[in-house]
Amino acid sequence: MNHLFEFLLRQGDNALVLGHRTSEWCGVAPALEEDIALANTALDLIGQTQLWLGYAAEVEGEGRTANDLAFRRDAYDFRNMLMVEVPNEDFGRTLMRQFFFDAFQVPWLDALQTSSDQRVAEIAAKSLKEAKYHIARSAETVIALGDGTEDSNARMQAALAYLWPYTGEVFVDDDVDRAMADQGVAPLPSTLRGQWTATVTETLTNANLVQPESGFAHAGGRSGKRHTEHLGHMLATMQTLQRSYPGAVW
Amino acid sequence: MRPQTAALSEAQVWAWLDDVPDPEIPVISVVDLGVVRDVSVLDTAVTVTITPTYSGCPAMSVIAMDIETALAKQGVTDVQLKTQIAPAWTTDWLSDKGRARLEDYGIAPPQPAGGPTRCPHCHSDAVEKVSQFGSTPCKAQWRCTDCLEPFDYFKCI
């Protein structure tokens, strides 16, 4: 197994799958400003995808491109965490997920800036600026909706209950993580748990939301062993053009 | 197109590039925006290094094409475009000329404090945020509570 390639796929697939999910709001968000914000967030994530998957393709050395990796792999070849592939459901769940993701990405990318791999460090530095901008909005919106009306509070609490079991996967270190840590490419994800929890607890408290106590975590996305049933449906939409007309360009 | 006979200077290429407008905000040039990071000339071959503002900015491919077209008009056809992402683009690289032109155009220039200091239309400091995001990845939406006009703010990153 090429550990660096696997590691890069995880970074790129997280950004790609969340970017596509977020783009599903384009044109149907609850307000024009939110529509634009969601589309811009999705655009940043797709831009980051190009950087991560572009480097992954180079490291693999099989002549594939970022586009090949994005559009011509099936669900079991994806290495994203499960949380980013579940359906948007409503605006509340979408923003709660974005916040959970951002609360991880900010310290994670910050740490990757000092990676022993120069390209990883460069991509992280570029992406971190965008992640910091994202968390300002996602945290603010979680608080506004959680501490909003009875209805918005109930929806955010429901989003929290649904997403919580998906938040733990990223902190479970595996062979790829250990190889990356040994080579100084990335820290062990488990070492970021304390910082993530502190950010999340503070924001949920300010949002008047009750943090679930369960420590149960769904797993299988990062290794590709077991994705949810939702990823295949998402890819069917996202990849339809390249599946129908392989290699199509315009 | 005119034939290129005299030796090219890097300063000349920079000057030409300063006439290439940003495709989304045509009032400033790609040099004002800080997207052009380096120019090097070897005989008649020109290498231009550019960096993206935001990693997903769709204007980048247009900027690359516009640079090639502008240089071709000056008779420079041996152009190599390089993209680099480090150091990451920052609004600190906006030129003073660019900042002034942005405000004249109705876009509040970026401020380290994270928000515009005044309305670009009436110069009142009574401004409020409408949305953290705007019509392009580099802008946010604000409005003036004195003249009531909405305006774009160039995000500070």
- pLDDT per residue as tens digits for the range B127-139: 999 999 998 889 9
B56·A44 Cβ contact <8 A: yes
Q: What is the pLDDT of residues A221-231, one digit of tens each?
A: 999 999 999 99
Selected residue of B51, B55, B136, B139 to mutate for chain A interface (largest A Cβ count, 10 A): B55
Interface size, chain A vs chain B, as Cβ–Cβ contacts under 8 Å: 68
**How do beta strands B79-83 and B139-144 pair?**
unpaired
Q: How far is CA A123 from CA A18, A110, B124, in A?
A: 18, 11, 39
Residue B2 confidence (pLDDT): 53
**A129: chain B residues, CB-CB within 8 Å:** 88, 90, 157
Angle at A46 between CA A45 and CA A49, to 5 degrees: 90
Q: What digits encode the pLDDT tens for the residues B11-44?
A: 999 999 999 999 999 999 999 999 999 999 998 8
**pLDDT given at position A78:** 98
CB contact under 8 Å between A133 and B86, yes or no, is no
- What would the mean pLDDT of A48-71 be, rounded to a whole number? 97
CA A42, CA A239: separation in Å to the nearest integer? 17
Task: Give the pair of three-digit tokens for residue B56.
Answer: 């997903």
Question: Do residue B86 and residue A125 have CB atoms under 8 angstroms apart?
Answer: yes
Q: Which residue has the tokens 């953290």?
A: B132
Per-residue pLDDT tens digits for A194-211: 999 999 999 999 999 999
What strands, in cross-sheet order, belong to the sheet with B127-131? B107-108, B150-154, B139-144, B127-131
Q: How far apart are CA B105 and CA A100, in angstroms?
A: 38
Q: Which residues in chain B have their CB less than 8 angstroms from residue A37's CB?
A: 131-133
Sequence ranges of the domains in chain A: 3-210+219-244
d(CA A200, CA B56): 27
B 72-101: CB under 8 A from A: 85-90
Interface with B, mutate which of A38, A40, A43 (most B CBs under 10 A): A40
The one-letter code for the residue type at B120 is P
What is the per-residue pLDDT for B4?
53
Q: What is the pLDDT of residue B7?
A: 77
What is the radius of gyration, based on Cα positions, of chain B?
17
- Are A23 and A42 within 8 A, CB to CB? yes
Mean pLDDT, residues A50-61 taken together: 98
For the segment A94-99, the average pLDDT, to the nearest whole number, is: 98
The Cα of B38 is separated from the nearest Cα of chain A by a number of Å equal to 18
Of A33, A47, A123, the CB nearest to B56: A47
Q: With 70 as the cut, is the pLDDT of residue B154 above it?
A: yes
Domain architecture of chain B: domains with CATH: 10-89 (3.30.300.130), 94-154 (no CATH)
Instruction: Tell me the backbone φ, ψ of residue B36, rounded to 5 degrees.
Output: -85, 115
Tell me what percent of the residues of chain A surpass a pLDDT of 70: 100
What pLDDT, on a 0 to 100 scale, did the predictor assign at position B3? Answer: 53
Q: How far apart are the C-alpha atoms of A78 and A89, rounded to whole Å?
A: 22
CATH architecture of the domain A3-210+219-244 equals Up-down Bundle (1.20)
Q: Do A36 and B131 touch (CB under 8 A)?
A: yes
Q: Name the residue of chain A whose CA is nearest to B142's CA.
A: A33
Residues in A 108-147 with any Cβ partner in B closer than 8 A: 121-123, 125-127, 129-130, 133, 136-137
- Is B131 within 8 Å of A34 when comparing Cβ atoms? yes
Question: Per DSSP, which regions of A29-164 are E strands?
Answer: none
Nearest to A133 among B86, B141, B157 (CB): B157
**Interface contact flag, B55 A125, Cβ < 8 Å:** no
Give the pLDDT band (50/70/90) at residue A250: confident
Interface check B9 vs A, CB under 8 A: no
Q: Give the CA radius of gyration of chain A.
A: 18
Predicted confidence at residue B114, as pLDDT, reads 82
Mean pLDDT of chain A: 97
Rounded Cα distance, B15 and B105, in Å = 22
Please name the helix (run of DSSP H) or strand (run of DSSP E) that holds residue B45, with its range, or none. strand B45-50
List pLDDT tens digits, range B58-116: 889 999 999 999 999 999 999 999 999 999 999 999 999 999 999 999 999 999 888 99
What pLDDT does residue A249 have? 86
Give the pLDDT of residue B63.
Answer: 96
| A37 contacts B133? CB cut-off 8 A | yes
Amino acid A228: pLDDT = 97
**pLDDT higher than 60, residue A193:** yes
Residue B148 has pLDDT above 60, yes or no: yes
ipTM: 0.89
Residues of chain A with pLDDT > 90, as a percent, come to 97
The pLDDT assigned to B92 comes to 95
Q: Does B132 touch chain A (CB under 8 A)?
A: yes
Which of A16, A46, A106, A126 to substitute to test the interface with B, most B CBs within 10 Å?
A126
Query: Which is more confidently placed, B137 or B47?
Result: B47
Segment A242-249 mean pLDDT: 92
Quote the minimal CA–CA distance from A215 to chain B in Å: 34
Structure confidence at residue B5 as a pLDDT band (50, 70, 90): low
